[in-house]
Amino acid sequence: MSENFEPNVVAFLCNWCSYAGADLAGTSRIEYPSNLNVIRVMCSGRVNPMFVVNALQQGADGVLVSGCHPGDCHYMEGNFLARRRVALMRELLNFVGVDERRFNMSWVSASEGAKWRDVVKGVVDNLHEVGAFTEFPRKKIDW
């Protein structure tokens, strides 16, 4: 892996907890790596696990899905539904040889700005070790 490899991470954050937690990290000026870009969804339950496969295809080296802590979901159970789906997709990806550190999930609440930093740092640090995703990216990415 080249020395200056910087992983590209796509993150799906629920509007109510994790996105707000990331906002709080901002208002608290908590610094973290700039490798992760956020897509806002209303609930982690909206995240189709195929988004993850798609993100890997479209140039991401890693993916993060982040929702409310168990019991805190704004929509009561979306994060629980997401957890099951993510658990299975992680196993499947791992089975075909995609390093499981490429697919992460976290619970970050609206008050956990510092945790958000730790999550981002952890994911990015891991991906530095894992390296670029070369298994099945698309050759050309159009949007």
d(CA 6, CA 119): 17
50, exposed or middle or buried, with CB in 10 Å at 0-12, 13-18, 19+?
exposed
Residues 88-127 that bind other proteins (CB under 8 A): 88-100, 104-107, 117, 119, 122-123
Q: How many CA atoms lie within 13 A of 28 on its CB side?
A: 17
When binding is defined by CB under 8 A, the residue of 7, 18, 22, 124 that contacts other proteins is 22
3 binds other proteins (CB under 8 A): no
135 binds other proteins (CB under 8 A): yes
68 binds other proteins (CB under 8 A): no
Element (H, E) at 33: none
Residue 107 beta carbon to other proteins: minimum distance, rounded to whole angstroms: 6
Residues 71-90 that bind other proteins (CB under 8 A): 71, 74-78, 80-90
Please identify which residue in the block is written with the tokens 């990331």. Answer: 22
Pair 33, 88: CB distance under 8 Å: no
d(CA 70, CA 83): 10
15 binds other proteins (CB under 8 A): yes
When binding is defined by CB under 8 A, the residue of 17, 20, 124, 127 that contacts other proteins is 20
Residues 24-63 that bind other proteins (CB under 8 A): 25-27, 29-32, 34, 37-43, 45-51, 53-55, 57-60
